[in-house]
Amino acid sequence: MKNSKINIIAVLVVATLFATSCKKYLDVNTNPNIANNPDLALVLPSAQVAIAHVVGGQFQINGSFWAQYWTQSPLANQYKQYDQNQPSSDNYNTSWRILYASALTDLNYIYNSASAKNNKQYMAVSSLLTAYTYQVITDAWGDAPYKEALKALDVDGGIVSPAYDAQSIIYDEIVTRIDAALALIDESAPIHPGADDLLYGGDMGAWRKFGNTLKLKVALRLSEISPAKAQTIITTMTADSNFAGFIMTASEEAKVAFSTAGGSQNPIYSEIVGVGNTQNIYGSKTCIDSMNSNNDARAFIFYKPTAAGVVGIAQGNYNNASEAAGKSIASHFVGAEAGNTESGAAPVRFLSSYESLFLQAEATARGWLSGTATDRELFEEGIAESFRAYVTDADVEELIRDSLPGELSDFVVNLDYAIYRYIHGDTVTGYLGGDTVANTNLPASNWGMYPSTGTTEEKVRHIITQKWFSMCGNQGFEAWTEWRRTGYPDFLVTSVNSLIGASKPVRFIYPTEEITLNANFPGIKQVTEKMWWDAN
């Protein structure tokens, strides 16, 4: 991706944001600086980057704190409210505004303009990204504007205070929207997105797999509230003659690439630069201790090792300044290392290959998905894909050598490299280590082993916990969401400085702008009030 393209896109995002924000909340002036009827090739990347800046920005940070990958540095202050489990409604104004007033507005424009020209492939891409965005919104806040959203202009109804739809209704609408989008896809169509599509370069076959994988994720979100419905969605989808499979490899995953160039950087690192390169994000002891106990080499990738290895801080223990000494910070591979400009190049993943494989493993374990691969094989391949995405020979050596002095560095590199070589490979054999049933002397917390003959719940516990490891700092919001749905991993702790006692946050707070500007705002929700699908 060229830096110039990202810089142009960033300008478009800001321009669209301010233009559509005015339409939504003021609806009084026409901005002469905004182009009328812009080309779809300009608007699509703007929408994709807008989504990436939320999913890979605030949602990544907030989710990674509440999934207990990250915790606030004892030497700084920016994210204390997340460790306190009590953020302000002001925290969410920007994310809500970007998702509605920029991303969804752009996608709506793409769909309507493409529809007028019978350009079905742009319509399909727009619909799939719209479905993805609405799932992100409703998984964050619950009930939200859907049917009356994006109708502030007079020609659309002049609705400046859209009513909220129940989360259950939004989920039904998302499934319908995905189905309609998949029906539009024609891999041989001569007119389709190209380089303007930052996720797939206009590969409509890849978009079909994206839609299938998104639908699988949507279905599994209903596993605890409506398992029969979840099963029906999955079995109906896979029985369709046009079904073409799910995302399986890194080349098929949906992600937006960023670079180290100014204006083109990963959204977390961009925020870090904006606060003077302050290192606010440290590694949480919850995740680090769990990874260390499993000899998981990814700990050396997701976190920056110290002379003592990878060492975490107790969740929320930011009042003890001495805690920072000898502790690991989040690494540049996840975009959160303030002192390393390589953080700017960390991608933002919408749907990863390992996420897809773990979704398939769970659906198979539940008996809702059948195919040539078993749930254990899908589980193990999900782990392997996670390793392939982040763990390479050069990465491991670089991180350790940069962190340790002299002879100690050489010794640890050799030791860890031996462990890494044992772990890493096409089957990740050393880490997986077989089946827990065949190794009854091993504890249930040996997360690389799969309970092939265990109960469905035992299998789900391993699948979701391993998904949690894989998403460390790179899909933090999704990992936290899966914990809310399933209760796994089941070893998250109470933050040292929690303001809600032993309870844990299970939703975002509605933004101040909605509370004050939307006459149909349904009422404030507390962070402890569960989502509709959260029935575990």
Residue-wise pLDDT for 90-135, tens only, equals 999 999 999 999 999 999 999 999 999 999 999 999 999 999 999 9
Check if the beta carbon of residue 55 is closer than 8 Å to that of residue 98: no
DSSP structure string for 446-491: -TTSB-TTS-HHHHHHHHHHHHHHHTTTTSHHHHHHHHHHH--STT
Q: Which one has a higher pLDDT value, 402 or 478?
A: 478
How many domains is the chain partitioned into structurally? 1
* Within a domain: 140: yes
Considering the chain, what is the average pLDDT of its residues? 87
Q: Which residues contact 509 (CB under 8 A, 6 or more apart)?
A: 87, 88, 89, 91, 92, 524, 525, 526, 527
Residue 446 resides in a domain:
yes
Cα–Cα distance for residue pair 181/536, rounded to 1 Å? 31
**CATH number, domain with residue 173:** 1.25.40.390
Residue 294 or residue 355, greater confidence: 355
Residue 22 has pLDDT above 80, yes or no: no
CA distance 322 to 325: 6
Does any domain span residue 524?
A: no
Pinpoint the alpha helices (H) of 55-186.
59-66, 80-83, 93-97, 105-116, 120-141, 167-184
Question: pLDDT tens for residues 407-461?
Answer: 544 444 444 444 444 444 433 555 665 555 544 333 445 787 889 889 999 999 9
- Provide the whole-model pTM: 0.89
Q: Is residue 525 part of a domain?
A: no
> What is the pLDDT, as a whole number, of residue 103?
98
The vertex-46 CA angle with 41 and 51, nearest 5°, equals 135
Alpha-carbon radius of gyration of the chain: 23
Q: What is the pLDDT of residue 422?
A: 42
pLDDT at position 448? 78
Give the pLDDT band of residue 262 (cuts 50, 70, 90). confident
pLDDT band at 396 (very low <50, low <70, confident <90, very high): low
Residue 527 lies in a domain: no
Compare 438 and 503 and report the one with higher pLDDT.
Answer: 503
Structure confidence at residue 515 (pLDDT) = 97
* Domain interval for residue 146: 3-517
Does residue 87 lie within any of the structural domains? yes
461 contacts 437 by C-beta, under 8 angstroms: no
β-sheet bridge partners, residue 164? 145
Determine the 3-state secondary structure of 380 from DSSP: helix
Percent of the chain with pLDDT over 90: 75
The answer to the question of residue 534 being in a domain is no
Structure tokens at 326: 């000898």
Tell me if 467 is assigned to some domain: yes
